[in-house]
Amino acid sequence: MRDTSAAPKISRNFLTVLDFEPSDLERCLALAAQVKADRSLGRQAPTAHALEGRHIAMLFEKASLRTRSTFEIAIRELGGNVIALQSDVALGQREPVADVARNLERWVDGVVIRTFKQEMLEAFAAAAPRLHVINALSDETHPCQALADMLTLTEQLGTLRGRTLAYVGDGNNVAVSLAHAAAMLGVHVHIASPEGYQIPHSAVQQATSVARFGARLRLFTDAADAVAGADAIYTDTWTSMGQEAEADVRRPVFEPYQVNDALMSLARPGALFMHCLPAHRGEEVTSEVFESTASVVFDQAENRLHCQKALLVMLVAEAR
């Protein structure tokens, strides 16, 4: 078990990137790089017993490959026990959200939740102050994804201060958390979205208020303008989970926002292509770009594991 006596106090929960101070984010990324390097040590790794005797429940109300798999593996590799709750728990339907939270609080140390409304996560956390609640994606934010994205960018670019990250597409959960994390690390963020699909004004204000080292957040409607001089271009699905009924309306609106070779050529030479996955080839990204040497999408996916391990160590193992 690590010596955690000197660990600084951090937020009990991770519902948004804003639960982290910039120093927490930097420490999480450094720890993630360390656990990544240590992974080959297996049970000899310094964090292999960090969650020994601890239980973490997982509750997914939406589909998942990456988040579910990487949290399960992370918990096991930290020596903890995973409880995979089924969606028939039916948060707020079979019994009130607060009652589910107050039951789980009696049995487990933490809960990883993927759900619809961010407010549900907040209500859950408020009802069970002894639990560590981790947001595995909500309609509004996807903070664990942003951790992996920042680790991937750091691996690829070295120092992030003064770099430019262009996000092209829907101003969704992924875009919001990306803007929060990037601004905190001194990355300029350009977001190009169609009118009516830009990130919420509140998220712009939040990102601006946590921005450091002169990082600026700029919104665009023209994808070409947003990617000029960018070190990386990021996109995500045009239709997020829960919005399936809007897919036919959205497709033509987002067509000018496809990340293709022509758009990539307007960014900085050697610019990276990023995507949280799952990707829809021929929609938000072409096969050519997805499969190109610029694409770091599977590094992002791998880094989900290392970042979530670091997050669990900081939130749960080091908690006093």
> Site residues (CB under 6 A) for ligand NVA?
137, 172-174, 236-237, 240-241, 276
Residues 50, 74, 276, 317: which binds ligand CP (CB under 6 A)?
A: 276
Question: Which of the residues are catalytic?
Answer: 114, 142, 145, 236, 276, 304
Q: Which does 65 bind (CB under 5 to 8 A by kind): ligand NVA, ligand CP, none?
A: ligand CP
Residues 33, 73, 224, 277: which binds ligand CP (CB under 6 A)?
A: 277
- Return the residue nearest ligand CP (CB atom): 67
Shortest Cβ distance from residue 67 to ligand CP (Å)? 3
Shortest Cβ distance from residue 69 to ligand NVA (Å)? 13
Contact, 22 vs 185, CB < 8 A? yes
Which C-beta is closer to ligand NVA: that of 47 or that of 141?
141
117 to 146, contacts with ligand CP by CB under 6 A? Answer: 137, 145
Which C-beta is closer to ligand CP: that of 66 or that of 190?
66
Which C-beta is closer to ligand NVA: that of 96 or that of 278?
278
63 to 82, contacts with ligand CP by CB under 6 A? Answer: 64-67
Which C-beta is closer to ligand CP: that of 49 or that of 62?
62
Q: Which does 16 bind (CB under 5 to 8 A by kind): ligand NVA, ligand CP, none?
A: none
Q: Which stretch binds ligand CP (CB under 6 A): 58-66, 123-131, 178-186, 209-217?
A: 58-66
State the residues that interact with ligand CP by CB under 6 A.
Answer: 64-67, 137, 145, 276-277
